[in-house]
Structure formats: structure tokens, C-alpha cells
Amino acid sequence: MKLGEDLGYVLANNRIRELFGYVKSRSDLQLRNRGYENQTSDCMPKVDVNGMAIVPCGFVAWSLFNDTYSFSTDSNQQLQVNKRHISWKSDKEDKFGSDVFPKNFQNGSLIGGGRLNESLPLNEQEDLIVWMRTAALPTFRKLYNPISS
């Protein structure tokens, strides 16, 4: 982030993310290494679509924040919304693999949240990385994007 950028946050009130089943519904091995893409036993019940593994699997990923919006100045100049440089360096480098790409994500009959770019590895999808760091309390704020003017 640069000096002079405004920061956009997601603020959620009374989200019941702290439920044990929700928090545990994910596969950290799958997020880190393509060789574990079929490792979905910890992701119940969001594990597959038509018998093919969902990457990333589980309720946490499935509930990815999905609002869409834009910003403009008083003179109707569009401001750039940037989803880069919002995640922790340790998460990006150590917890999400550069060889792991989304597969079958939000492709079922019931869609839970946002979509992911299937041509980008998970370690470059920083909105997902931030979302996957679960909050300890039901009211939380997460960095969503710096806004460049």
C-alpha cells in the first residue's frame, strides 16, 4: 500500500463464523500443494461437484465475500480498486500454493459467495487469502482493497 491510498474494509456484524464446524471446514494441505487437491475429508460438506474435488474446498472458501462496487470522484472519474498487497506476506508465501488453481469452485447448483479466477494460482488471489483467515469474533473487519486516486 502507498501513502495517500484510502483503504476499503469489509465489516460484518453478527456473522457466526466462529462455529467450530465452519472454521474446520477447509483443507490447509489442499491450499498449499496441488498434489493434495483431492484431500477434501476436512471440508465436509463442500467437498465435490459431480464427483470432482472442489479447490478450495469447505465452507470458509465457499462463503467468500462477493459484493461488487465501484468508486468515483465528484467529476465522475473512476477510482481504481486494487486487490493486491492486502494479505499477510506469510499467508501468501507459506499457506497458499503457487501451483494450486481453483477447480469446480462455485460450480454446483447452490452458489455461496464470490468467484475465483481459475487462471490465477491461489497465492495470487488475495481477497481469498484475507477471507480464509477466520475471525475470532462474530463482528469483524477485513481489509478488502486499497483505493488509488
Task: Give the per-residue pLDDT at 11.
Answer: 47
Q: Flag whether pLDDT at 143 surpasses 50.
A: yes
pLDDT tier at 113 (50, 70, 90 boundaries)? confident
pLDDT tier at 65 (50, 70, 90 boundaries)? confident
Q: Flag whether pLDDT at 81 surpasses 80.
A: no
Strand-pair partners of 140 = 12
The mean pLDDT of 125-145, rounded to a whole number, is 78
Task: Give the per-residue pLDDT at 3.
Answer: 43
Q: What's the grid cell of residue 148?
A: 488509488
Task: Give the per-residue pLDDT at 19.
Answer: 58
Q: ∠ CA(54), CA(21), CA(51), 5° rounding?
A: 25
pLDDT digits (tens, 9 = 90+) for 4-20: 455 555 545 445 544 55
Task: Give the per-residue pLDDT at 34.
Answer: 95
Q: Is 132 exposed, middle or buried (0-12, 13-18, 19+ CB in 10 A)?
A: buried
Q: Flag whether pLDDT at 51 surpasses 70.
A: yes
Alpha-carbon gap, residue 23 to 67, rounded angstroms:
22
Q: Flag whether pLDDT at 90 surpasses 70.
A: yes
Per-domain residue ranges for the chain?
6-144
pLDDT digits (tens, 9 = 90+) for 15-35: 554 455 677 889 999 999 999
- Helix H or strand E segment including 7: strand 6-12
